[in-house]
């Protein structure tokens, strides 16, 4: 009897652990170069951020397909040398990039900001003669930044040195928002209850992941002329991730809507587009195979669109696009402007 009771307690303990452990992963923290995770970049974004993309640069730049592409693009060598002049190794020193709109999605220029998690030498990034206030280096709450581009007396693009692992690049207003968040004087993206719910659905360990708040008025203005697409105006937000595993590109999009019925209607529209594409692509095996691999599934919370494409399939599609472009170019009358 005693052994039976111990066995029951042990099973209960295992069940409790299985339930708790998925939610007990590492908590997001300020990103430290070389030790950061993708989710850590979200701690530098304001709670009101309306769009974001995070790229695991260290993984991305070292993928074999990316390396092969870079070697083919000889014109990139000039840019690489310019970056190396700042003491940065593209393959070793940069870890994460994040681009976000730190505010209203309808006013992206005002809130657009880029964050870079890296190992760098500050003195090599500061232009000669910029070591004092007079020559351009400014401070906000004790953190220095450089106005890189100014128009009509306003700093359009600034570079802020958050710490030895993180830089912020954007408008003066945007980098000041980031500085406030960094110094915990303003809430970060993960402090927002709605944001935390969405982050749970993000694959923050993928090569890249993103999230977008969809302005209702934007879709309505674009789709009002086509009643059959009206359900698309109910989309409230979109999340996505891209990854590369086993020589295949994985891409997923999750669509969130105001109500469950909206998701079903949106799924019907997307499946209709897929069927139409399958019909039109019957003469193009490469595109047909890609469309056949698109999976559209619904849950109580979101609609998921997923596709996995092998590297050779991507290359076949790229060859097809180049062939179509060449054929189109050759079909133009002689002497015709081909722009």
Helices 311-330 and 285-292: angle between axes, nearest 10 degrees: 140
Q: Where are the alpha helices (DSSP H) in the chain?
A: 2-20, 57-61, 64-72, 77-84, 108-111, 122-125, 172-182, 193-199, 216-223, 260-280, 285-292, 311-330
Q: Return the domain boundaries, the chain.
A: 28-189, 214-331
Q: Which residue matches tokens 């260290």?
A: 58
Q: Which residue matches tokens 């070591």?
A: 131
Let me know the angle formed at the C-alpha of 303 by 321 and 308, rounded to the nearest 5 degrees: 40
Reported as type and span, the H/E element at residue 53 is: strand 51-56
pLDDT score for 24: 45
| pLDDT tens digits in sequence order for the chain, 339 residues long | 555 554 554 444 444 433 333 344 568 899 999 999 999 999 999 999 999 999 999 999 999 888 888 887 777 777 777 787 788 888 899 999 999 999 888 887 788 999 999 999 888 888 665 454 445 789 999 999 998 887 766 778 999 999 999 999 999 999 999 999 999 999 999 987 777 777 888 999 999 999 999 887 777 777 777 788 888 888 999 999 999 998 889 999 999 997 888 899 999 999 998 888 887 766 777 778 888 889 999 888 899 999 998 888 888 877 878 787 777 766 666 555 544
In angstroms, the CA 116 to CA 56 distance is: 10
Whole-prediction pTM value?
Answer: 0.83
In angstroms, the CA 224 to CA 141 distance is: 47
In a 10 Å sphere around its CB, with 0-12 CB exposed, 13-18 middle and 19+ buried, how is residue 166 labelled?
buried
pLDDT score for 279: 79
Q: Are the C-beta atoms of 143 and 159 separated by less than 8 Å?
A: no
pLDDT score for 8: 53
């Amino acid at each position: 009897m005693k052994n039976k009771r111990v066995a029951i307690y042990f099973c209960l303990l295992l069940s409790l652990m299985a339930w708790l452990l998925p939610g007990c992963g590492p908590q997001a923290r300020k990103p430290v170069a070389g030790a950061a995770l993708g989710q850590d970049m979200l701690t530098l974004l304001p709670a009101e951020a309306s769009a974001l993309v995070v790229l695991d640069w260290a993984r991305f730049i070292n993928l074999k397909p990316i390396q092969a592409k870079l070697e083919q693009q000889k014109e990139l060598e000039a840019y690489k040398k310019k970056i190396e002049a700042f003491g940065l190794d593209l393959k070793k020193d940069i870890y994460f990039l994040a681009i976000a709109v730190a505010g209203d999605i309808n006013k992206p220029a005002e809130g657009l900001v880029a964050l870079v998690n890296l190992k760098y030498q500050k003195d090599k990034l500061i232009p000669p003669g910029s070591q004092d206030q007079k020559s351009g280096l400014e401070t906000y709450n004790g953190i220095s930044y450089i106005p890189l581009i100014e128009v009509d007396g306003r700093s359009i693009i600034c570079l802020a040195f958050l710490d030895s692992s993180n830089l912020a690049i954007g408008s003066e207003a945007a980098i000041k928002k980031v500085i406030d968040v960094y110094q915990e004087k303003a809430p970060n993206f993960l402090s927002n209850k709605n944001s935390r719910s969405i982050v749970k659905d993000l694959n923050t360990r993928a090569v890249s992941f993103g999230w977008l708040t969809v302005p209702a008025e934007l879709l309505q203005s674009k789709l009002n002329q086509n009643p059959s697409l009206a359900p698309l105006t109910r989309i409230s937000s979109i999340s996505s991730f891209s990854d590369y595993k086993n020589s295949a590109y994985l891409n997923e999009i999750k669509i969130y809507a105001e109500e469950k019925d909206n998701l079903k209607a949106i799924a019907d529209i997307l499946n209709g587009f897929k069927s139409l594409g399958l019909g039109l692509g019957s003469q193009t095996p490469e595109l047909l195979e890609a469309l056949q691999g698109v999976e559209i599934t619904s849950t109580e919370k979101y609609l998921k669109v997923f596709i996995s494409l092998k590297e050779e399939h991507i290359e076949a599609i790229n060859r097809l696009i180049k062939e179509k472009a060449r054929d189109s170019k050759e079909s133009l009358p002689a002497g015709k402007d081909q722009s």
